[in-house]
Amino acid sequence: MENYPNGNSSYTEFLLTGFSGLKGQRHFLFIPFFIMFVLALAANSVLIFVIITTRSLHAPMYILISAIACVDLSWPIVIAPKMLFSLLFNWNGITLLGCLTQMFFVNFIGALQSSILMGMALDRYVAILYPLHYNDYVNVATFVKLYAVVIFRNLILNIAVVTLAGSHTFCSNVIDHCFCEHMALVKLACGSTTKNSIVGLVASSCITSVDCLCILISYGKIFNSVFRTSSVKSCQKAIHTCVTHFIVIGISYVCAMTAFLTYRTENTMSSNSRVLISVMYILVPGSFNPIVYGIRTKEIREQIIKIVQCRKIVPV
């Protein structure tokens, strides 16, 4: 605990006590979370490997899928090791600097995921509505410009959120969570946290809401155009092409918004349920997104099958 010149003191060491309501049964959660963590590592690693090593998959859409896989691989790595050790061995301690660092990466990776999903929607928009001009609009230069702006936006907003959170003095050091979630830490502050709530809401609106709006507009225009001007076969093809993205987007945004709202609205949800939703928000997309892409994307599925079949061949 640090002492300040004005006589106030603030904690600099914290305890992550997520699922405290389970008391002695917390360690049983290690098994399902460890399985999801390993599944996320393995599935995303395979997906990235397949896309990198297959020349025919070096197209913008598959590069974006590999980018999503990188995000889904990074997210569990940021929170899962610390969480698993906490559940199994009760190693709950974390410094303020460590907490803020984890918070930054959790928020930044989440923002990056949202931005990549937006890029995928824009890619499908151009591919389906302007196929003859696809290579003119979708190229390295376009993506560099788009994501330079997006990453700069995400960095500035997340730095503001984390810096403001770290500027408080803290009257308690018990974080009722398994990782350093923004509002879970801010709730421990001694003074008013209105600014944190406002800045967090602005950051969420400028990142998630803007990206989600672009996604909805893109797919809205796609289906409006396809249903008005195309044959039944073309409509079915467009729907088949987009449904995989809908599944991934749905999983990601539903988990994200549910986790976001549980800490910002008055509700009767228990602490354990709130923490579980936040953990699932990170582990579920990481575990299931690569499986969705692997099963529903024909080109990726075929390459995975080829690799598996090759591994089965044992030289004599």
**pLDDT at residue 2 is higher than 80:** no
Superfamily of domain 11-312: Rhodopsin 7-helix transmembrane proteins (1.20.1070.10)
pLDDT tens, position by position, 192-249: 888 888 898 888 888 888 888 998 898 888 888 877 766 666 667 667 767 777 777 7
Which pLDDT tens digit goes with each residue over 33-66?
A: 999 999 999 999 999 999 998 888 888 888 888 9
Structure tokens at 214: 């672009």
This prediction's pTM: 0.86
Instruction: Tell which wins on pLDDT, 107 or 139.
Output: 107
Q: Is the alpha carbon torsion for 235, 236, 241, 243 positive or negative?
A: positive
Q: Sketch the domain layout of the chain as residue ranges.
A: 11-312
| Predicted pLDDT at 263 | 64
Whole-angstrom distance, CA of residue 166 vs CA of residue 182: 10
Strand partners, 2: 10
Q: Residue 23 — left, alpha, or beta (φ > 0 → left; ψ -120 to 50 → alpha)?
A: left
At residue 292 the predicted structure's pLDDT band, cuts being 50, 70 and 90, is confident
